Amino acid sequence: MKRLQRLRFGSLWVFIIVLMSFAVLAQNRKAFSQSEWERTVAAAKREGTVVVSIPTSAELRQQMEAAFHKRFEGIKLELVATRGSAGITRILEEKRAGLHYFDLHIGGTSSIVTGPLRAEILEPVLPWMILPEVRDPKNWWAGHVWADNAQKFIYVFLGYMTETIWYNSDLAKPEEVTSYDDLLQPKWKGKMVILDPRTQGSGESMWAFLWRIKGEGYLRKLAAQEMIVGRNLRQLAETVARGKASLSIGVSYYSYQPFIKAGLPIKTLPVPKEGIYASSGSGNLAILRNAPHPNATKVFVNWLLSKEGQTIFTNAMGQPTRRFDVDTQWTREIGHIAGKEILTPTRFHELQNQSEEVVVKFREPASNLADVLLR
């Protein structure tokens, strides 16, 4: 009996020692993480600047600059707002010239895949995630999601079902377009605008999606509708908002935002019967190799992917984040339904339209077809 008691007593002590060891390890790990973060912020302040290529949204630029400068005084956040394809072209040209101006890029996947990913000038993203709330996949719906085949260079931080057909409610009614086939009706000839699908962006994405579900013959008929094709998002949005066109394809909420706030009759079209695709929108992060401000880049990446950064990005762009702790229910009102609210991760991956595989298999060939049809 005494021997049994000694064994139980000894086992209890072993259990207590193990628990204490885990507690000390966790505390040391937390202290190390905090120490690493503090050292990174201090080094970032010595660098003084971080340069980021972002989508063309004045709202996003203003909100990010104000919040970042308030939190990290001494680090200048230089945001260059431009269409993804234009920003990527500049980055590649500068890299070829031996210049290193940009630290990282945020935007759609197509231009990243066909540009810096193929040029092999990107850094793996995960090592740049320092803060536990950013690095822990449990904080993200579907865990960590990547657009590239290697699963490490293009980090996807948004995820939603997208509606990219908008209309002027004075000129069109939602019941007039319940199928993509309705866009081929004579009444819409010369009355639609489309973001040029010959360049990377949401116009190209929608064009490729229509090719996947409706076929090449459909796109030939759509091209014959004499659409207004453009690359300036604000001009395309204004064309519809001011009533010079009835419908738009590939023009997103953030381009319409100023006109919606001004009370102009702009609404998103309900989902056509053929359905819509899942997207990461402009929420894709790529870090450039040989970033001139590596510590400031780490600070920005962790802030961007934090609750605060993702709240700002979602609110400015109207595109829902995958973070669990950020409210995204309101984006339903503008036709962007968060994947975490209606999809399983498996279904999201089945419906996604932005991965490297999709870009190569569908979006590039569809864009090449646009080159022929929209001359």
- Residues of the chain whose pLDDT is less than 70? 1-34
**What pLDDT was estimated at residue 23?**
46
Do 44 and 107 have their domain in common? yes
- Domain assignment present for residue 2? The answer is no
- Taking the C-alpha atoms of residue 12 and residue 8, their distance in angstroms, rounded to an integer, is 6
Contacts of 296 (CB under 8 A, 6+ apart): 44, 47, 48, 49, 50, 75, 103
3-state helix, strand, coil in the chain (%, to 5): 55, 15, 30
Enter the DSSP assignment of 184: G
Note whether 84 and 107 are within 8 A (CB). yes
Over residues 21-76, the pLDDT tens digits come to 444 444 444 444 568 999 999 999 999 999 999 998 999 999 999 999 999 999 99
- Domain assignment present for residue 348? The answer is no
β-bridge pairing 192-195 and 247-249: parallel
Do 115 and 231 have their domain in common? no
Tell me which amino acid residue 192 is. Answer: M
Enter the DSSP assignment of 185: S
Number of domains the chain is built from = 2
Do 215 and 296 have their domain in common? no
- Domain assignment present for residue 349? The answer is no
Do 111 and 135 have their domain in common? yes
Do 152 and 41 have their domain in common? yes
**What pLDDT was estimated at residue 373?**
95
Do 256 and 205 have their domain in common? yes
β-bridge pairing 247-249 and 49-54: unpaired
Do 149 and 49 have their domain in common? yes
Do 207 and 90 have their domain in common? no
pTM for the complete prediction? 0.84
- Domain assignment present for residue 355? The answer is no
Do 167 and 155 have their domain in common? no
- Taking the C-alpha atoms of residue 306 and residue 129, their distance in angstroms, rounded to an integer, is 10
**Sign of the Cα pseudo-torsion (234, 188, 177, 281, in order):** negative
Contacts of 147 (CB under 8 A, 6+ apart): 109, 112, 113, 154, 155, 156, 280, 284, 354, 355, 356
Do 41 and 138 have their domain in common? yes
**What pLDDT was estimated at residue 201?**
83
- Print the domain residue range for 225: 163-276+367-373
For residue 303, how far is the Cα from the chain centroid? 15
Do 36 and 146 have their domain in common? yes
CATH of the domain at 173: 3.40.190.10
What tokens does 142 get?
A: 């579907």
